[in-house]
């Protein structure tokens, strides 16, 4: 039996040393010009960092083997740490780092694999968001404004799940280009039509190289109170890519 507003304790990230705690940038969701109530910051319930693939550091001699990409996923809770309800919009995000240094960088293919009963819920009020931090300048970039990328709002079927492809082609075929020191954070709104007991997972398929695939994942809890709080006015999503050290410019 599900109880209303199940309280969760956040998971510790296995690579927490890579993150510090400066004030991150925020994304207002459907906030009108004048907001009478205080903004609610939506916390994340995150899985653990995993490494995805290896590479040989560019021009290293003797060869240096290093992790190519690493990342984690999670989903938004209601403050302080309450699970979403059936019918209510919440967000999942994928946070990717690129610690490796292959000479040509990586063209990363990304898909979203959802449990039965969970679907994307993109709308004008609750759009998907796509951000990157460029390692060369340590600058936060809104990829929706980038002429080569853009942020998708629809997600066709991919090899295993829903393809999350750069709207304007990206580095080719919708892939997301990354190099050493780059970060990527994709945020997609979801809705569950059935309760979720934590035995099903939100998973992302991350493909940074030919034949190399990893699956950041997090167990999903959705309680069975049908609340239908579709409006997220006054709610704020925080960007985890803005918690890296040093703090990216623009956060």
Residue 3 belongs to a domain: no
Residue 183 belongs to a domain: yes
> For residue 232, what pLDDT band results from cuts at 50, 70 and 90?
low
Is the pLDDT at 194 greater than 50, yes or no?
A: yes
Q: What is the CATH number of the domain that holds 64?
A: 2.60.40.740
Residue 85 belongs to a domain: yes
Indicate the pairing of strand 176-178 with strand 217-222: unpaired
Residue 77 belongs to a domain: yes
Residue 2 belongs to a domain: no
> For residue 80, what pLDDT band results from cuts at 50, 70 and 90?
confident
Domain count, the chain: 1
Q: In which domain, by residue range, is 213 found?
A: 16-243
Separation of alpha carbons 227 and 208, rounded Å = 39
Residue 135 belongs to a domain: yes
Task: Report whether 47 contacts 10 (CB < 8 A).
Answer: no
Per 3-state DSSP, the chain is made up of helix, strand and coil in percentages (nearest 5) of 5, 45, 50
The confidence score (pLDDT) of residue 21 equals 29
Task: Report whether 98 contacts 214 (CB < 8 A).
Answer: no
The confidence score (pLDDT) of residue 169 equals 97
Q: What are the pLDDT digits (tens) for 19-55?
A: 322 333 556 553 333 333 456 889 999 999 999 999 9
In this prediction the pTM is 0.86
Residue 199 belongs to a domain: yes
The confidence score (pLDDT) of residue 230 equals 59
């Amino acid at each position: 039996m599900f109880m209303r507003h199940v309280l969760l304790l956040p998971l510790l990230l296995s690579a927490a040393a890579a993150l510090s705690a400066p004030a991150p940038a925020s994304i207002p969701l459907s906030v009108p010009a004048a907001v009478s109530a205080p903004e609610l910051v939506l916390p994340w319930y995150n899985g653990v960092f995993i490494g995805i693939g290896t590479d040989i550091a560019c021009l290293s001699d003797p060869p240096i083997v290093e992790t190519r990409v690493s990342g984690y996923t999670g989903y938004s809770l209601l403050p302080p740490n309450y699970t979403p309800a059936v019918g209510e919009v919440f967000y999942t995000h994928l946070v990717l780092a690129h610690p490796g240094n292959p000479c040509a960088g990586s063209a990363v293919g990304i898909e979203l694999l959802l449990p039965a009963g969970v679907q994307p819920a993109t709308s004008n009020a609750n759009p998907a968001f796509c951000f990157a931090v460029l390692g060369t300048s340590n600058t936060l970039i809104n990829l929706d404004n980038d002429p080569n990328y853009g942020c998708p709002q629809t997600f066709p079927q991919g090899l295993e799940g829903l393809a999350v492809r750069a709207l304007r082609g990206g580095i080719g075929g919708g892939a997301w280009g990354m190099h050493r020191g780059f970060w990527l954070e994709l945020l997609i709104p979801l809705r569950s039509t059935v309760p979720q007991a934590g035995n099903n997972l939100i998973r992302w398929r991350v493909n940074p190289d030919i034949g190399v695939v990893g699956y950041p994942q997090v167990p999903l809890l959705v309680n069975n109170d049908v609340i239908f709080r579709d409006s997220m006015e006054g709610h704020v999503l925080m960007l985890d890519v803005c918690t890296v050290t040093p703090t990216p410019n623009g956060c």
